Amino acid sequence: MKLSVAIGLMAMTLSTAAIAEDLPDLAGREVVVVTENAYPPLQFLDASGAAVGWEYDAMAEIAKRLNLTVSYETISWDAMIPAVSEGQFDLGMTGITIRDDRKEQVDFSDSYMTSEMVMMVRGDEERFTDAASFAADADLLMAAQPGTTPFYVGVYEVLDGDEANPRIKLFETFGATVEALKAGDVDLVLTDGTAGAGYVDASAGGLKIIGEKLGTEDFGFIFPKGSDLVAPMNAAIAAMKADGTIAALNKKWFLDYKIGG
């Protein structure tokens, strides 16, 4: 048994090494990455004002493996996909759900993370317990960023399919939706489970997750259509999954790190 385990570990090591050796060397190529810095724990500004998060760590690792020189710019969510589509930036990252309609404007990398959509409410919320009971009470309000997956899930899976429904209050950033929830201006925020768990953990009981999960979403980096960066990025993502780097980042940012702490 010990021999078979040793052989298995050796095979895994050789496989990982083979993947690493297959990665292209992009010779220090300069890549401009645009993000929003408003979606913890993927990317955000910490208490000192430094830009940090899962995606920053992942991009640093990818840059090292592919020999890239990365610089960062910031932009609002609603302008990000059009700006990348027009070639203003080489790559976009902000927990962007891979969707067919977006593929008409930009190319996506392979998925680097799969998350589940959840309902986040104030910690003392007792008026509703799931999507159906929220929808049934016309006085209850939801916050969302326009054009995001939580917006569309809220419209089509929680409410009535009307994108102009006045029960959905629109905000420019995800952080603003959470602040509106805390302040009592709205009653529900939909978010992927990873970000939601981070906010709940940091809230000291002020927030909680309720109800059943509302489906899954895969996150990917975005590029201008036809970008030659897609294949190298996919190779790096595959290597990082194979050697445990992705798992280590998940542990760091979703289990160990405390937002605001």
How many whole angstroms separate alpha carbon 116 and alpha carbon 224? 27
Query: Which listed CATH number (3.40.190.10, 1.10.940.10, 3.40.50.720, 2.60.120.260) goes with 115-216?
Result: 3.40.190.10
Q: Which fold does the domain 24-114+219-256 belong to in CATH?
A: D-Maltodextrin-Binding Protein; domain 2 (3.40.190)
- At 115, is the pLDDT very low, low, confident or very high (cuts 50, 70, 90)? confident
pLDDT in tens, 49-76: 999 999 999 999 999 999 999 999 999 9
How many whole angstroms separate alpha carbon 226 and alpha carbon 244? 29
Under 8 Å between Cβ of 15 and 56: no
In the chain, how long is the greatest CA-to-CA distance? 66
Under 8 Å between Cβ of 94 and 77: yes
State CA 62 to chain mean position distance: 17
User: Model pTM?
Assistant: 0.74
Q: In sequence order, which residues have a C-beta less than 8 Å from that of residue 33 and are 6 or more positions away? A: 59, 70, 71, 72, 73, 89, 90, 91, 92, 93
Instruction: Indicate whether 19 pLDDT > 80.
Output: no
pLDDT in tens, 117-174: 999 999 999 999 999 999 999 999 999 999 888 999 999 999 999 999 999 999 988 8
Check residue 149 and give its pLDDT. 84
CA-closest candidate to residue 217, choices 152, 170, 158, 168:
152
**φ, ψ for residue 145, nearest 5 deg:** -90, 130
Check residue 258 and give its pLDDT. 58
Mean pLDDT check: name the lowest of 164-168, 201-205, 241-245: 201-205
The segment(s) of the chain belonging to CATH 3.40.190.10 are 24-114+219-256, 115-216
**Residues counted in the chain:** 261
